[in-house]
Structure 1
Amino acid sequence: MSKELILEQARQSILKCDPKKAVEVAKQALAEGLDPVEVLSEGFSDGIRQVGDLFGRGELFLPELISASQVMKEASNVLEEAIEASASKNKGKMLIATVEGDVHDIGKGIVVSLVKAQGIEVIDLGREVPVPTIIEKAVANNVNIIGTSALLTTTMPEQKKLEDVLRKEGLRDRFKTMVGGAPCTQRWADRIGADAYAEDAAEAVRKALALLN
């Protein structure tokens, strides 16, 4: 099967919320020697971006968005083992979480996979994570970067709260911080005092490497 067809099937498995097909495509891609990072970023992640666009236009609803996210996770689990096997290690540690009140983790899941591919250790706290938990785990794991994701404008203030609490507790200089999610912008990152903003997963990887360097 051609690479283009495999990538298209990967996209469609996400758009159709078909976990069985997604896992099948991921395994076939590896069996045929395709680059797992490319399959993830240009196949499955492209499908997720399309899902996000449909959600933004009101053509999909939150349950479908969450379903697509779960399919993405299953495909990522298959590909990540191959990605990690080929990745260089010990470039640093990054904690990633979706903020409290926000149930989405589509973009975050893609970021986790691609950041791992660059040899950065990732502590993924999942969805709806309170600021105190984020800070507690960041300190406990001695991470270099804290990345937070917010899909909703109503949950963006949690990213500001993180910056405020880090400063209040005298921990702000200990970590680099990165924000992302559909409503976030560079202006928002500047306003709250975050070190970086990433528009998508590929940019998140570039920014994370830059912060570590």
Structure 2
Amino acid sequence: MELTQLYEAILNGKLEEAVAVTNEALAAGIAPQTLINDYMIKGMEEIGARFEHGKAFVPNLLMSARAMKGSLDILKPLLKGDTSATLGKIVIGTVKGDLHDIGKNLVASMLEGCGFEVVNLGVDIAAERFIEAARDEKADIICMSALLTTTMTYMKEVIEAVRKAGLNVKIMVGGAPVNEAFARSIGADGYSSNANAAVVLAKSLIQA
């Protein structure tokens, strides 16, 4: 079998093909970690790079993330207890008062696709819930999203509550009304404008 088919399936967003090749590879005795690191993540990184250079668009990212998730769902049960299987753990959610989740879900999918363990809390998440999840999950990063100017100010409250709780986590923010200057002004550790940039930022924060 040609394992490059798995890379191509992820890159081209072909869910059924990705799942089929993943199952074939496992049946042939290939290690899940090899499939993830050498083919699947590389496929996600390539679609991310194409997106950055205007050669791929949000629907392409969504299709690739969907194909990646299909393969990961098969492999995840086989990775239980293998802490080396993840780059780090991220808790992600849309802040209190905001019900938008398309962008947040895309970021979550890209992060997961590129090797992070992601706990997606959903929408309308209060500071206490972010803190509780980060503590319970022993998260490395809290990632917050907002799509409204009226809700993005709540990010500052979350950051203050996290610091007050003494949690040793990095905090990333993003969303349409958010920018670098705002992120800095509220004490966030980083800001990303799109899903691919979020992956790059998360990797740099983990290594910092």
C-alpha distance 198-73 of structure 1, shift in aligned 2 (>3 A): same
Q: Which residue of 1 aligns with 2:3?
A: none
Partner Cα separation in structure 1 for residue 116 and residue 150 of structure 2: 30
C-alpha distance 36-89 of structure 1, shift in aligned 2 (>3 A): closer
Q: 2:70 aligns with which of 75, 78, 82?
A: 78
Asked whether the equivalents of residues 19 and 67 of structure 2 are also in contact (C-alpha less than 8 Å), the reply is no
SS of structure 1 residue aligned to 2:178: coil
Aligned sequence identity (%): 33
Q: 1:178 aligns with which of 172, 175, 186?
A: 172
SS of structure 2 residue aligned to 1:112: helix
Tell me the CA shift for residue 189 of structure 1: 0.5
Cα deviation 1:139-173 (Å, max 9, x = unaligned): 11111100001011111012111112123x2425x
C-alpha distance 89-118 of structure 1, shift in aligned 2 (>3 A): farther
The TM-score normalised by the length of structure 2 is 0.67
Tell me the CA shift for residue 109 of structure 1: 1.3
Q: Which residue of 2 aligns with 1:61?
A: none
C-alpha distance 130-36 of structure 1, shift in aligned 2 (>3 A): same
C-alpha distance 27-181 of structure 1, shift in aligned 2 (>3 A): same
Q: Which residue of 1 aligns with 2:98?
A: 102
Partner Cα separation in structure 1 for residue 98 and residue 19 of structure 2: 33
Q: 1:124 aligns with which of 97, 117, 120?
A: 120
Cα deviation 1:98-124 (Å, max 9, x = unaligned): 111111111221222221223221111
What one-letter code is carried by the residue in structure 1 that aligns with 2:15? Answer: A
Tell me the CA shift for residue 129 of structure 1: 1.0
Partner Cα separation in structure 1 for residue 94 and residue 112 of structure 2: 17
Q: Please report the RMSD computed on the Cα atoms of aligned residues, expressed in angstroms.
A: 3.6
C-alpha distance 90-75 of structure 1, shift in aligned 2 (>3 A): closer
Tell me the CA shift for residue 31 of structure 1: 5.0
Q: 2:202 aligns with which of 193, 204, 208?
A: 208
Alignment of 1:90-169 (within 5 A): 90-167=86-163, 169=164
Partner Cα separation in structure 1 for residue 64 and residue 99 of structure 2: 15
Tell me the CA shift for residue 76 of structure 1: 6.4
Number of residue pairs aligned between Structure 1 and Structure 2: 173
